Amino acid sequence: MPPTAAEEAERGDRPAAAFRTDEFRSGRPQIVGPDTPEFPFPIALAGQVQRGFGRGGKDLGCPTANLPDKSITPISSVAKTGVYYGYAQVIPPEDNTDLRQEDIQVLPMVMSLGWNPFYKNKCLTAEIHVMHDFKTDFYGFEMRALVLGYIRPELDYTSREALIEDIEVDKRVALNCLERPGYQACAKNPHFSLGSSLRVL
């Protein structure tokens, strides 16, 4: 059984990431995992969105929300590093007027858990990309996420273009996986705020 992300972090050494190969890329399935979430999923995460490195949106066209270190323990303690899929929701403060109604729904997401080998991070991070076009940022707002499945391991890349290409595949795989009824039902999980003014997209 591979070590969890937390075990790797505790040892103080970053695992050697698999290198991206043509074989891996050409053989990537467009849907992964069982028809319903299986242990250790679903994994619930929650925390205030922090400022990260600012690379997701600027460098990769894939803006991400970073959760505080203590918020990722529920997944890092039971799962290995890699790319995951599920749902997320931004919970604004009551006096917020910046986010639109469509911004605070339960939305599909992909999440990277690890050290981002291409950028050679020194700390374990969880970076969530919500597949939605937000018109404003939400730093400091609460984010709730439900991680439902594993897509692939962390990979190293020889170019930014190769990384971007695989991120786009990750998004498609996540959306395909979440189309299954056993996963759609998870969008109504009590972990999310599902008041009368909110709906699932």
What is the bridge-based pairing of β-strands 142-152 and 125-130? Answer: unpaired
CB burial readout 100-119, b (16+ within 10 A) else e:
eeebbbbbbbbbbbbbbbbe
> Any alpha helices (H) in 18-101, and if so which ranges?
22-26, 55-60, 73-76
Contact between 73 and 45 under an 8 Å Cβ cutoff? The reply is no
- Whether 127 is catalytic is yes
82 Ramachandran zone, left/alpha/beta (phi>0; psi -120 to 50): left
Per DSSP, the three-state class of 86 is: strand
- From the candidates 10, 94, 127, 154, give the one annotated as an active-site residue: 127
Phi first, then psi, for residue 108 (nearest 5°) are: -65, 150
Are 90 and 141 in contact by the 8 Å Cβ rule? The answer is yes
In the chain, the amino acid numbered 125 is: T
Catalytic residues: 127
